[in-house]
Structure 1
Amino acid sequence: DAADLRALALLARALHGDPRAGAAALRAAIERRLDAERREQRRVARLFALQRRLLREGARFVAGVDEVGVGPLAGPVVAAAVVLPARVHLAGLDDSKQVPRPERERLAAEIRAQAVAIGVGEVWPPELDRLNVYRAALEAMRRAVVALGVAPDHVLVDARTIPGIGAPQTSLVRGDARDGSIAAASIVAKVWRDAIMARLEREHPGYGFAQHMGYATREHLLALRRLGPSPMHRRSFAPCSQLSLLPP
């Protein structure tokens, strides 16, 4: 954190001019670490350029929104909406697909600690099958915005436009890699959905939900052929509705 970096900077200055080889090597290692941390801080700061502009223009609450779970054969589509303050410290923030699971969980906890508001929306398989997966994703995002508990002045969305939220929106292609609020929403949604899939593994054993998160892995397809679809499977998806098409 910031205190650790200040301590390292003080140590590097204290070592400056020490003629011992070990001191020089330690100082060089500390300076490399500090340089890497500064580069990361600049990268994360760039992710919030659009939010900073919107806040300067008078917005009070800027929400980033993203969804996860469109492609799996089982489980819900989950969306998150996140309103972050003007100043945040979220080292390592990125699109959830680029962040290893332990880092995602750390970031999700930090986002929850720093966020002004967080909302989550879910659409489960029976409703998803009625709506179709595209409309289900939009509905999950709408529910996430409603669940914020504050009315956003502007909404930043990953490559979509959310119907029925009554706020100006900016749709960003690859927004989860380009905008900090959308990236934060993708992290929160992914960690939330992973926890759901771990629970579904306990409720519907044998499918391996906690391992593949509902995606169409070979192990999942074999379990689907062996056990048939569970209530958590998406019947509108071909592997669930046409078991004869599954590979041997």
Structure 2
Amino acid sequence: MLLPGVNDSKQLTEEKREELFDVIHREALAVGVGIGDHALVDSINILQATLSAMRDAVRALSLTPDFLLIDGISNVPMNIPQRTVKKGDSLSLSIAAASIIAKVTRDRMMVQYDVEYPGYGFASHKGYGAASHLAAITELGPCPIHRKTFSGVKEHLPPLPGSDTAGPSTGLFSF
């Protein structure tokens, strides 16, 4: 199958990603999405949450794949043959399509969070560490969907009981 325009989601405009999102859903044999939310990231770390979401996405497919191409260097914890591909979203059509589905899904979630948590600007910065986002956290404090283990958020949390430091913190991640 050829999908003209499908490329690494980071190389596409928001408008083009939205257009391709619909094309991919229409043309793909199956599409599955998995979500690794803030609570999961805070409890098991971002890599493990990402792998869990990838596993959930595969399980959500309407068919069982024979083989997985994975963007990056970590295999999905499943008993399906697979190969990791560094920078795979610029080398593989299926990985690029998956990156578009993931990015558009996440961006749409952030637009909804902008309605639920006004003042943070989620619709514009999509949850990334933009100066406006960090300023909103400083002014308003973290909201329930902020990842409490991330730098830029954890500094604005109240101290843990019996501690003189804000928590939780792993020191492993940046915002």
What TM-score bracket applies, with the shorter chain setting the length?
0.7 to 0.9
Aligned mate of 2:74, from 152, 161, 169: 161
Q: Tell me how far apart the structure 1 counterparts of residues 76 and 23 of structure 2 sit (CA, whole Å).
A: 29
Q: Tell me how far apart the structure 2 counterparts of residues 89 and 163 of structure 1 sit (CA, whole Å).
A: 26
Aligned mate of 2:22, from 99, 103, 109: 109
Alignment partner, residue 124 of structure 2? 211
Alpha carbons 1:141, 1:162 under 8 Å: kept? no
Aligned counterparts, 1:169-208, within 5 A: 169-208=82-121
* Alignment deviations for residues 131-160 of structure 1 (CA, whole Å, 9 cap, x no partner): 011111111111111111211100000013
- Report which of the two has the higher share of strand: 1
Q: Tell me how far apart the structure 2 counterparts of residues 197 and 225 of structure 1 sit (CA, whole Å).
A: 19
The runs of 5 or more residues in structure 2 that have no matched partner are 158-175
Total equivalences in the alignment: 157
Q: Tell me how far apart the structure 2 counterparts of residues 89 and 153 of structure 1 sit (CA, whole Å).
A: 20
Q: Tell me how far apart the structure 1 counterparts of residues 152 and 125 of structure 2 sit (CA, whole Å).
A: 15
Q: Tell me how far apart the structure 2 counterparts of residues 134 and 117 of structure 1 sit (CA, whole Å).
A: 25
Residue 136 of structure 2 corresponds to residue 223 of structure 1 = yes
Q: Tell me how far apart the structure 1 counterparts of residues 151 and 22 of structure 2 sit (CA, whole Å).
A: 36
Alignment partner, residue 132 of structure 1? 45
Aligned-pair CA distance for 1:123: 1.1
Alpha carbons 1:157, 1:172 under 8 Å: kept? yes
Aligned-pair CA distance for 1:163: 3.6
Q: Tell me how far apart the structure 1 counterparts of residues 73 and 42 of structure 2 sit (CA, whole Å).
A: 20
Alignment partner, residue 32 of structure 2? 119
Question: Normalising to structure 2: TM-score of the pair?
Answer: 0.86
Matched to 2:128, the amino acid is: Y
Alpha carbons 2:51, 2:77 under 8 Å: kept? no
Matched to 1:233, the amino acid is: H
Q: Tell me how far apart the structure 1 counterparts of residues 22 and 81 of structure 2 sit (CA, whole Å).
A: 28
The runs of 5 or more residues in structure 1 that have no matched partner are 1-87
Q: Tell me how far apart the structure 2 counterparts of residues 152 and 162 of structure 1 sit (CA, whole Å).
A: 15
* Alignment deviations for residues 1-56 of structure 1 (CA, whole Å, 9 cap, x no partner): xxxxxxxxxxxxxxxxxxxxxxxxxxxxxxxxxxxxxxxxxxxxxxxxxxxxxxxx
Higher CA-based Rg: 1
Alpha carbons 1:93, 1:183 under 8 Å: kept? yes
Q: Tell me how far apart the structure 2 counterparts of residues 175 and 148 of structure 1 sit (CA, whole Å).
A: 20
Identity %: 43
Alpha carbons 2:55, 2:76 under 8 Å: kept? yes
- Secondary structure at the aligned position of 1:112 is classed as helix
Q: Which runs of structure 1 show a deviation greater than 2 angstroms over 4 or more consecutive aligned residues?
A: 160-164
RMSD: 1.2
Q: Tell me how far apart the structure 2 counterparts of residues 237 and 108 of structure 1 sit (CA, whole Å).
A: 29
Q: Which has the higher contact order (CA 8 A, sep 6+)?
A: 1
- Report which of the two has the higher share of helix: 1
Aligned counterparts, 1:1-248, within 5 A: 88-243=1-156
